[in-house]
Structure 1
């Protein structure tokens, strides 16, 4: 392993600069610039809306079940551990200059807050519902037919990861170039799929299964990856290989949803206490002794589940970090093509948990019933508002009322609809995808007359 090469790469990968800001970082004794990124995200409207967006169980009637907001906070906690561990390793090996282990923890913690910020209502069902509208609904089909092939692809495969990049760099603080003007490494950490929608999925490289930017953010995206010195793909135009921190953020996300979604299912009685304890103990037993003495002192079953879940997460963090260290050179040079969790000792157990969750949790009646309703809600909202912006001033009274309902930010300065079909339709998807679950249902009821405000 070439230590000089690795040191140089890490310096390139961690520029201390912000998107849209030409000046250097500010000096503030009590708060670093990477901590400021965390704070900007916490106080953003888009992050707040995650409190009522689906993680797994839409419109849950219990206050225990996790939303996108609580999930993002938990991933952020795991990411801070990953970043600090990585920082200590890089310092020990002489690879970091002017960046501390705490800085790396802050970068990844901020990235984790942002990683799901572009998800529409009703989770992944919402993404599919938006894509389906433009593929199958006559109103959607008609409008995408007016676009270029590259623009059309953005809507035919709507992607929450690309919407997240758009929210962070354009929609939030929209008067600023670069939106929230986050640090470049923070933005790079959330780019799981560094390519455009027109790129065909590549099952042989995890970085190209989906896409991470729309045509509207093509220039901003290129600026981030170029200033972070990501490795450009040799044959695919507009594609790069991942930033190393992305692998750790992805691992944190996967660790949380493997174990935490199972815990939520247990609290909703979709999995028995015996089953969840079996799975958690199986994860632990791969590399550690079961904490039998500690467990014997815990009276309530739910407390045992919580303890075992926390214990298992700690072990998985250590395993994933070791894989990162073992493959550091391949990761920083863009040659690593799989996820970190594909190589840890507990991979087989996690695969069994994922298979169980697919059958008994993600496809449970609780999830499917609301998910199916979510398709109808989003299709109705998109048909109404896309239809309204397409008709514009030529529409009737209902069209004019729908246009008045759209916030000012989705029009030109004089509240006129854009002349560009791509722009005006994207502004509608910005509006709809930004809705919380309950607000989407509320607007659906309003425009269908199901629930009149009287």
Structure 2
């Protein structure tokens, strides 16, 4: 049986290896509260401002980036954490909830997980992951391509980034608390393992196998078993990229508020939650029509009211499902494929809005065109980087030496300390591409291409 004392473990990996922090800057904050602050001020977090949420290379400042998405997921996760810690403390965390400081630690750990959950995503959103997978699939190498790269995933890259790549002054990455690291893991299995725990993906690269075993050992978890709070983070991601992506689709002008209402009514209009959300949204829309608003203003403010109502329903439902199933989670009896939203009374609302997003947003011809451009940029950049990384005589190869020197020092340092195997080279390639923002990747792609062709 899982224990909340272990699941909220505030110990940091550095402490396990006999090293203590000496700055003395944590006064007034719990260790889990400090983790949120560390993630907030980390460079990879700022880079999310120039990475796609839905609409690639977006110039409209009101459209969400991966950074605004992450802040919103963090906010939703913290809100559920507050509901759990203040209104359901004894039911969820037991009689010793005061000793665990759940009113401070649970909202903090969930806010941290929400903010960090997409840090490892490459440029151009999930299409960036596909481009990386495709690039490796297209190679005709003698060596077999490891599954870590054939099925590259941003979740595994996030764990690698936080535990190794984002260096403070040692090999422990951001040196987050063990409880925070465990709560971040959406897919709790190592690449190539036979025990996925019923989840659809692997979530830990083999290069971080020793680290994750350490995390699991000290949090009472094991391969295939999720931290209970990871279900909350997953639900908040679902809420954000269904409801909020619909708002951005309308903001882009690809659909209207009325398109969304008609879509929901025609697809799942008999669902009680959907009926309630539509009714409240249309009521507000009718009120706003009495004011002298432009059609764009009316669309925007009506979508805001839809977002407020829909999110409120989904947060409440996700919280209720978590509370109702906490004993199963703690006892290891939760069924395979369990998700808070999927098993809630808001399941149909979430599913219907995702279908709307796909039809009007993701499949819009402008989005598809930009995704294709992003795919091409990533693949061509990977080919140029690979020439540098795999070069056997880099000292006598000016182009390759220049490109290799443009890779982040953090990433190069970790590679140069490795065995420099084929696996390590592939991993450096993924580290380099995933760490780029979209504008930086395009700029460097054009610069490298000109140098390679001798036209610079």
TM tier, smaller = 0.7 to 0.9
User: Match of 1:252?
Assistant: 236
CA distance in 1, matches of 2:344, 2:106: 22
State the TM-score, normalized to the length of structure 1: 0.86
Q: Would the alpha carbon gap of residues 120 and 99 (structure 1) be closer, same or farther in structure 2, given more than 3 Å must change?
A: same
Please give the alpha-carbon distance, in whole angstroms, between the structure 2 residues aligned to 1:46 and 1:117.
6
The equivalent of 1:213 in structure 2 is 204
TM-score by length of 2: 0.86
- 2:70 equivalent in structure 1: 72
- In structure 1, the partner of 2:294 is none
Structure 2 equivalent of residue 421 of structure 1: 422
Q: CA deviation at 1:435?
A: 0.3
**d(CA) in 2 for partners of 1:374 and 1:414?**
26
CA contact under 8 A between 1:10 and 1:95: conserved in structure 2? no
Q: Distance in 2 between matches of 1:293 and 1:380?
A: 51
Displacement of 1:288 in angstroms is 10
Query: 2:179, 2:82 → 1: CA distance?
Result: 15
Deviation at 1:43?
A: 0.8
Write the distance in 1 (CA, Å) between the matches of 2:37 and 2:169.
Answer: 19
> Does residue 384 of the first structure (1) align with residue 398 of the second (2)?
no
- How far apart are residue 30 of structure 1 and its match? 3.3
- Structure 2 portions without partners, runs of 5+: 292-296
Q: 1:434 to 1:412 in 2, by over 3 A?
A: closer
What is the CA-CA distance between 1:109 and the residue it aligns to? 0.3
Residues 188-233 of structure 1: CA distance to partner in whole angstroms, max 9, x if unpaired? 111010012214696x93xx21111111111111111221111x3x
Which of the numbers 209, 220, 226 marks the counterpart of 1:229? 220
Aligned to 1:236: none
Instruction: Provide structure 1 residue ranges, at least 5 long, that are not aligned to the other structure.
Output: 233-238
Q: Which moved more, 1:23-32 or 1:308-317?
A: 23-32
Alpha carbons 1:55, 1:71 under 8 Å: kept: yes
Distance 1:24 1:17, change over 3 A: farther
Aligned to 2:254: 270
Q: Could you tell me whether the CA contact under 8 Å between 1:277 and 1:308 is conserved in 2? A: no
Query: What does the per-residue CA deviation read over 1:148-193, in whole Å, with 9 as the maximum and x for residues that have no partner?
Result: xxxx111111110000000001011253342111122221111010
Specify which of 87, 98, 101 is matched with residue 99 of structure 1.
101
Aligned to 2:366: 366
Q: What corresponds to 2:151 in structure 1?
A: 157
Deviation (angstroms), 1:351: 1.6
Match of 1:290 among 277, 280, 298: 280
* Aligned equivalent of 1:357: 357
- Contact map agreement 2:263 2:356 (CA 8 A) in 1: no
Return closer, same or farther for 1:415/1:102 CA change in 2, 3 Å cut-off: closer
Q: Which shifted more, 433-442 or 271-280?
A: 271-280
Distance 1:453 1:42 in 2: 41
Q: How many residues align?
A: 430
Change beyond 3 A, Cα 1:403–1:90: same
**Deviation >6 Å, runs of 4+:** 23-27, 279-282, 413-417, 450-454
**Contact 1:262–1:357 (CA<8 Å) still a contact in 2?**
yes
> SS in structure 1 opposite 2:32?
helix
Shift of 1:18: 1.8
Query: Is this contact kept in 2: 1:386–1:428, CA < 8 A?
Result: yes
Deviation (angstroms), 1:137: 3.0
Change (3 A) 1:250 1:95: farther
Residue 286 of structure 1: how far off its partner (Å): 4.6
**2:39 maps to which residue?**
41
Counterparts in 2 of 1:352 and 1:452: CA distance versus 1, 3 Å: farther
Is the CA contact (8 Å cut-off) linking 2:8 and 2:180 kept in structure 1? no
Q: Residues 403-442 of structure 1 correspond to what in structure 2 (within 5 A)? A: 403-412=404-413, 419-442=420-443
Q: Secondary structure in 1 aligned to 2:108? A: helix
**What does 1:45-194 correspond to in 2, within 5 Å?**
45-93=43-91, 94-96=95-97, 97-138=99-140, 141-142=141-142, 144-145=143-144, 152-173=146-167, 175-194=169-188
Kindly report the root-mean-square deviation, in angstroms, between the aligned alpha carbons of the 2 structures: 2.9
